[in-house]
Structure 1
Amino acid sequence: MKNYSWFIFSVFVLGSGVLFAQPDSLYFQKKKNETIQLGWRTKKEIGLTLNQVSFTNWNAGGANSISGIVTGKAEAKYKQEKWYWNSNFNVRYGLNKQEELNIRKTEDVIEVVSNIGLEKDPKSNWFYSSKFSFNTQFANGYVYPDRDVEISKFLAPGYVFFGVGMEYGRFIERMSFYVSPFTLKTTIVLDDDLANKGSFGVDPAIYDLEGNLLRDGKKVRQELGILLTNQYEQEIFENIKITSLLELYTDYINSFGNIDLEWEINLDMKVNKFVKATLGSHLRYDDDIKVEVETNEITNEENVIVGPKLQWKQILGVGVVVDLDKIMKSNSSS
């Protein structure tokens, strides 16, 4: 991605600069007179999205299937006159069952994000800021239909980011631009087999010519680099909200200029207080994740490891979302 990563980086920086250079833009016209709520604000949600397809004597053919995704989300936000502290905890797990095939995983996320900021100047939109994030998964990952070899597990990988920098945005929870010239990225691979293979960028095991293990693979890889993020959340129409989170990271020492990309954008459409439809897209590029090409049955060539590839996940679903805070408040008031 090195050939075009700088193009993405340039568009990101220039686009953000144009936005920030226009304080009277539509966004700020709508928000500049809004008061900021001080103190704690919390939010807890659980949700279930189901999709089912069934065929009976259907002449066009098709495969019966059922799938579901369970989601959980918790937010805690604290604001004083000069300080803010925002934290998010997200979990998602999804399964799919299609006719005679075994159950397959479709979604698997454990994510914690927390950032704290100090106001630099009451007349400025810039904050001194520090950000922490952690993410991993619940269950083993496979390249289906092969279930014999795991390609990922719980804490294999696990990613930890911690950095300090500056954040732009009077309304941090809705729109912000964060830049950290000193961000430590830690990649954790606690599984012995995956660590010995050198998965997710850790140093692989060393063997002698006879295949005897001389040194185990490293289970931790650390990088120091620059992190840029852009977060945006806005209700574009009544009961239709768009959220976008873009992250760009490059390591100073090992591969400066090879930019890791995470861009998640979701369109949430609220039908009523319980039913919600979601359309989402998640782009990912990690220079440390190599793609394995399977054996060609015709030429009988062995598996080969090729370079990193752009990853893309799309989500479309309708489900039930329950706001636990509102239920607790209604019960206490009654």
Structure 2
Amino acid sequence: MKTSFLYSIFFFCMSAGMSAQTVDTLIVARDTLKVIVQDTLKTAPVAVSHWEKKNIVGFDLNEIAFVNWSAGGISSVSGLLKGSFIRRYVSDNVKWGNELIVRYGVNKQDGIEFRKTDDAFQFVSTFGYRKDTLSNWYHSAKFNFNTQFTSGYSYPNIDESVSGPFAPAYTFLGVGAEYANKEKKINVYISPLTLKNTLVLNQRLADQGAFGVKKAIYDGDGNLVKEGERSKTELGILVTTAYKTEILKNINLENRLSLYSDYINKFGNIDVDWQLQLDLVVNKYVRANIGSHLIYDDDIKATEDVDGVQVLVGPKIQLKQMLGIGIEYSF
């Protein structure tokens, strides 16, 4: 409509001082030009972006309340805020995927202060190149970063934290091969050369040798001779897998597994990080989820309460189970 209006103004201005024959000629030229412009606009190629993006934010809520309940019990409410943000570049032979995952959850019970139930900040970036479009194998480089937002405690002891932001933080940087099948939603990454760096930027925790860093050295009188190291670097092999499928209608299963072994320090001891989640889709916005997270790291020593004192013991399997229903929004 705007184009027709401009044509009319142009024609009016040009025809004001011209003869009828000249005006007829201009009318034909105008109509011809209009057809050419319209055809050009219809056939002009549409710019296609190689970038894909997906944002998911959600909130889960669990609540239980007791009023004159003869069998006893404690009223409680739990909330979990979570988000997943994906940016992916895909062309014929190049693939670059970036994913940011954040979670933070708290629980409140009668007579007890707020307690943290979940806390995660995870970023993964993978770049891959393949020789031709027929292959699902890529030459790849991967970077992982994991930490948390706030301090963590071994409840009910809240006097001293057992973890915190960048205490620990883990980075993985390596090169290898990646099998990516988009149709089957399977991804396998194998890296024979991966640097793992563990950061413990809380000096008190570093002095304790938390999360595998070298602990502080004290003399016979208990005086500090050398502070604990706040980082630890390892070189090893990393294998990660990811698989997602709809096992039944509106029931989706997602499985993520990461295995790492250091070449220098006890090669064969495998660090395991396994996440399994079941999503039950109620409708576009409401979902229920059941999940588990298992971690085993030979460098992470468990703590036990002995006569009111937290004592370090050997490494143990860490297991977290989750069940929730909440709202989820994608954009």
Same fold (TM over 0.5): yes
Q: How does 1:301-320 map to 2 (within 5 A)?
A: 304-320=311-327
5+ long unaligned stretches in structure 2: 1-47
Alpha carbons 2:108, 2:114 under 8 Å: kept: yes
Of residues 271, 279, 292 in structure 1, which corresponds to 2:282?
A: 271
1:25-58: CA deviation from partner (whole Å, max 9, x where unpaired): xxxxxxxxxxxx9711101121111111011112
Q: Does 1:154 align with 2:165?
A: yes
Superposition RMSD on alpha carbons, in Å? 1.6
Percentage of matched positions with identical amino acids: 47
How far apart are the structure 2 equivalents of 1:196 and 1:63? Answer: 38
How far apart are the structure 2 equivalents of 1:44 and 1:304? Answer: 42
Q: Does 1:244 align with 2:251?
A: no
Alpha carbons 1:38, 1:81 under 8 Å: kept: no
Q: What amino acid is aligned across from residue 250 of structure 1 in structure 2?
A: S
How far apart are the structure 2 equivalents of 1:174 and 1:288? Answer: 33
Of residues 228, 231, 240 in structure 2, which corresponds to 1:220?
A: 231
How far the C-alpha of 1:131 sits from its partner, in A, is 0.8
2:24 is matched with none
Q: How does 1:29-44 map to 2 (within 5 A)?
A: 39-44=50-55
Q: What amino acid is aligned across from residue 209 of structure 1 in structure 2?
A: G
Of residues 149, 155, 174 in structure 2, which corresponds to 1:163?
A: 174
1:249-273: CA deviation from partner (whole Å, max 9, x where unpaired): 0000011011000010111111111
- Change over 3 Å in CA distance of 1:308–1:151 after alignment to 2: same
1:210 is matched with 221
Say which SS state the counterpart of residue 124 (structure 2) adopts.
strand
Alpha carbons 1:72, 1:90 under 8 Å: kept: yes
How far apart are the structure 2 equivalents of 1:304 and 1:237? Answer: 46
How far apart are the structure 1 equivalents of 2:108 and 2:63? Answer: 10
1:296 is matched with 307
Q: Does 1:50 align with 2:61?
A: yes
How far the C-alpha of 1:120 sits from its partner, in A, is 3.7
Q: What amino acid is aligned across from residue 264 of structure 2 in structure 1?
A: I
Q: What amino acid is aligned across from residue 249 of structure 1 in structure 2?
A: Y
How far apart are the structure 2 equivalents of 1:170 and 1:120? Answer: 16
Q: How does 1:102-141 map to 2 (within 5 A)?
A: 102-141=113-152
Q: Return the TM-score normalized by structure 1.
A: 0.82
How far apart are the structure 1 equivalents of 2:289 and 2:301? Answer: 30
Q: Return the TM-score normalized by structure 2.
A: 0.83
How far the C-alpha of 1:173 sits from its partner, in A, is 8.8
2:208 is matched with 197
Higher relative contact order (CA 8 A, sep 6+): 1
How far the C-alpha of 1:197 sits from its partner, in A, is 0.6
- Change over 3 Å in CA distance of 1:216–1:232 after alignment to 2: same
1:80 is matched with 91
1:71-124: CA deviation from partner (whole Å, max 9, x where unpaired): 111011111000111111011000000110111100000110111111144433
Say which SS state the counterpart of residue 166 (structure 1) adopts.
strand
How far apart are the structure 2 equivalents of 1:303 and 1:95? Answer: 23
Of residues 69, 72, 77 in structure 2, which corresponds to 1:66?
A: 77
How far apart are the structure 2 equivalents of 1:96 and 1:304? Answer: 26
2:19 is matched with none
Of residues 283, 287, 295 in structure 2, which corresponds to 1:284?
A: 295
5+ long unaligned stretches in structure 1: 1-36, 326-334
How far the C-alpha of 1:190 sits from its partner, in A, is 0.4
1:233 is matched with 244
Alpha carbons 1:246, 1:264 under 8 Å: kept: yes
Of residues 186, 198, 206 in structure 2, which corresponds to 1:187?
A: 198
- Change over 3 Å in CA distance of 1:161–1:173 after alignment to 2: farther
Q: Which has the higher Rg, Structure 1 or Structure 2?
A: 2
- Change over 3 Å in CA distance of 1:45–1:122 after alignment to 2: closer
Alpha carbons 2:92, 2:133 under 8 Å: kept: no
How far apart are the structure 1 equivalents of 2:298 and 2:132? Answer: 38
1:260 is matched with 271
Q: What amino acid is aligned across from residue 193 of structure 1 in structure 2?
A: R
How far the C-alpha of 1:304 sits from its partner, in A, is 3.8
Say which SS state the counterpart of residue 52 (structure 1) adopts.
strand
How far apart are the structure 2 equivalents of 1:144 and 1:178? Answer: 37
Q: How does 1:91-106 map to 2 (within 5 A)?
A: 91-106=102-117
How far apart are the structure 2 equivalents of 1:274 and 1:192? Answer: 44
How far the C-alpha of 1:274 sits from its partner, in A, is 0.9
- Change over 3 Å in CA distance of 1:311–1:180 after alignment to 2: same
